[in-house]
Structure 1
Amino acid sequence: MGKFQRKPFSAALILATLMTGIATAETPAPADLAQEEAYLDVLPKVEVPDDVQPIPGAVNEEFRNCEAQWPMGYKDAQSGPEARALRDIYGFFQARNVVASEDCTCPGKVANWEDVDRIAAALRERSGIERLGWQNTKEVAAEADRLTAIAETMCGGSF
């Protein structure tokens, strides 16, 4: 019996993931690229290698296994009105740290929460709002996803 025939749920999940990726890839670019770039200016710049390669001998630790090292702010951001937005920003800093440091272990994946607070405050001010929602950080989340894919290539495994 084939690998996917024994696990129909796995096959369905893989297919759904692939279809979601295809739909995302077909999403048109924002109408105002200058506006998006201005929005992302609050984020620190990240130097990404032109040719991303796996790090020789990298030891990859998945972030979920680093819970003992999570900053208190991240632990608090598991629920609440700004939880998703704050985790989006934190995801950016996590991936940035891995790409910049080439450290795929927990210390490389655990980011400084003060950076998240600083960016969240800048986004609130720039948007003129008191509370961030996922809509306010969707560009940050997209940049985090881009950097996470690079980090996973570098680390040779899941983030």
Structure 2
Amino acid sequence: MKKTTIDQKEISKLLEKIKAAQVGNKLDLSSDEDLSIAIMNLISIEEHMFFTAAKTGKIGYLNLLQETRQMRKKLLKRIIKDYEGEVWCISKHLLASSMRLSEVGTKSLAKGKKEEAFDFFKMAYQLYSTFWGLNLGVIKSKKLKLSIKKRGQKEKEIKKESGIINRKNSLFEK
């Protein structure tokens, strides 16, 4: 089997932390896991409505897309209570990517490519676990910042390496 970049030990640690966070957390994780799968499917429906509108030229599909989007946003608010920065969008994209990778994995499995399918399923599960890690507070932004500094890079060095950040900052400084 191919070696993937996904560290199974890290995923297991994250899942243990998520289970520990369930104790005393107001989320009913089994119901919310079901809800997250429903949200994944709503995101897929939004995508299909967009492509169908584009292919057929029928604007009515965009109206259905908007209704689906409103439903998805309402349901996502039940899981994502507090968030900072782009965590709302990150969460949506983690779910969408997890769903897509699981679909690609299922197609690979149907073609008899079990190892390839397993790799896709592992990536999908890693993204799904990251979604829960962010939204149960297991992955904390303070620790993310510290982990960058622990690698021996100062904040200025990080900005210097990323031209995008420098360009963005210069736009706002003028």
Bigger relative contact order (CA 8 A; separation at least 6) = 1
More helix by share: 2
Find the structure with the greater CA-based Rg.
2
In the superposition, the TM-score normalised over structure 1's length comes to 0.32
Q: TM-score, normalised by structure 2?
A: 0.30
